[in-house]
């Protein structure tokens, strides 16, 4: 294959979500085929190790979320939920920032960088998010707390399915109850529509405060555009800036959420 063909094949793999090399050297598929054809000597059958305790059913997962007494218990409970996402991800991505800050940000799902590091919003979109909030005087090391709807990275960074959202939503709501923020920021359409139980898209939901229907003693929630969307659509940064100014005025006591 010539250089143009190799580049085309590489672009195709990137479009399919193959953005990480899992081995230092490519495997020799021909040698593997020869080895597979040769008869293998009989081996004693070893007993299979006991499978980990997982909870495949959504009602059981919801019960587990309710029983989590603190953030450590909630993280441990999430790790017990049986989801195909855990089989393709590297790390469970739980949270980052300061839980006692009073401001909680909820995004969609981890990306490749988040999956490697086990923290939310550490990739390119996370760097943009930090710059955005720094522009109104807020830092994640001091002023806000971050998590996602999904704790595991979807393959190829695809959009979460409704089933995946419904499975992990009880854990997100319990997360909000345990952190007890005074204000919520919902980053992107998945987080906004899931938590607000809304049918409207993010462009209709953003720009104003909403009540969160499913959480006990829920704080007001401000939907805004996801940083990843802003990277693809720079013209939308003007709307995001307006949302940040609304958040800043609210935190300063100049606006009362309704």
User: Does 220 fall in a domain?
Assistant: yes
d(CA 249, CA 245): 6
Higher pLDDT, 199 or 4: 199
- SS3 label, residue 186: strand
* Radius of gyration (C-alpha) of the chain in whole angstroms: 22
Instruction: Give the CATH number, domain containing residue 211.
Output: 3.40.470.10
- SS3 label, residue 17: coil
User: Does 39 fall in a domain?
Assistant: no
pLDDT tens digit sequence for 145-188: 999 999 999 999 999 999 999 999 999 999 999 999 999 999 99
Q: What confidence score (pLDDT) does residue 245 get?
A: 97
Q: What confidence score (pLDDT) does residue 50 get?
A: 44
Q: How many domains does the chain have?
A: 1
User: Does 18 fall in a domain?
Assistant: no
User: Does 74 fall in a domain?
Assistant: yes
For residue 34, pLDDT beyond 80: no
> Which residue in this structure is represented by tokens 């940000």?
105
User: Does 144 fall in a domain?
Assistant: yes
User: Does 30 fall in a domain?
Assistant: no
For residue 74, pLDDT beyond 70: yes
Residue 6: in which H helix or E strand, if any? helix 3-15
Domain that holds residue 107: 58-251
User: Does 130 fall in a domain?
Assistant: yes
For residue 25, pLDDT beyond 70: no
User: Does 7 fall in a domain?
Assistant: no
Q: What confidence score (pLDDT) does residue 65 get?
A: 94
Taking the CA atoms of residue 149, residue 153, residue 157 and residue 158 in that order, the dihedral angle to the nearest 10 degrees is -60
CA-based angle 64:144:163, to the nearest 5? 35
What's the burial of 97, exposed, middle or buried (CB within 10 Å: 0-12/13-18/19+)? buried
250 to 136, 185, 247: CA distances (angstroms): 12, 12, 5
């Amino acid at each position: 294959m010539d250089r143009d063909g190799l580049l085309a094949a590489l672009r195709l793999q990137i479009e399919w979500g193959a953005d990480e090399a899992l081995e230092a050297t490519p495997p020799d598929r021909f040698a593997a085929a020869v080895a597979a054809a040769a008869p293998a000597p009989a081996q004693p059958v070893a007993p299979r190790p006991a499978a980990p305790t997982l909870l495949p059913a959504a009602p059981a997962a919801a019960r587990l979320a309710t029983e989590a007494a603190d953030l450590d218990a909630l993280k441990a409970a999430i790790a017990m939920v049986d989801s195909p996402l855990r089989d393709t991800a590297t790390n469970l991505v739980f949270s980052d920032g300061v839980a006692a800050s009073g401001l909680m940000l909820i995004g969609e799902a981890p990306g490749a960088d988040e999956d490697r590091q086990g923290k939310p919003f550490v990739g390119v979109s996370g760097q943009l998010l930090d710059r955005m909030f720094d522009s109104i005087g807020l830092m994640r090391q001091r002023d806000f707390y971050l998590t996602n709807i999904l704790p595991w990275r979807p393959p190829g960074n695809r959009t979460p399915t409704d089933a995946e959202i419904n499975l992990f939503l009880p854990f997100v709501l319990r997360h909000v109850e345990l952190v007890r923020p005074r204000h919520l920021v919902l980053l992107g359409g998945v987080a906004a529509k899931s938590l607000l139980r809304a049918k409207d898209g993010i462009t209709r939901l953003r720009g104003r405060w909403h009540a969160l229907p499913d959480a006990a003693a829920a704080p007001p929630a401000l939907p805004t555009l996801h940083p990843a969307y802003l990277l693809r659509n720079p013209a939308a940064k003007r709307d995001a800036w307006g949302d940040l100014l609304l958040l800043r005025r609210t935190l300063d006591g100049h606006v009362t959420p309704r």
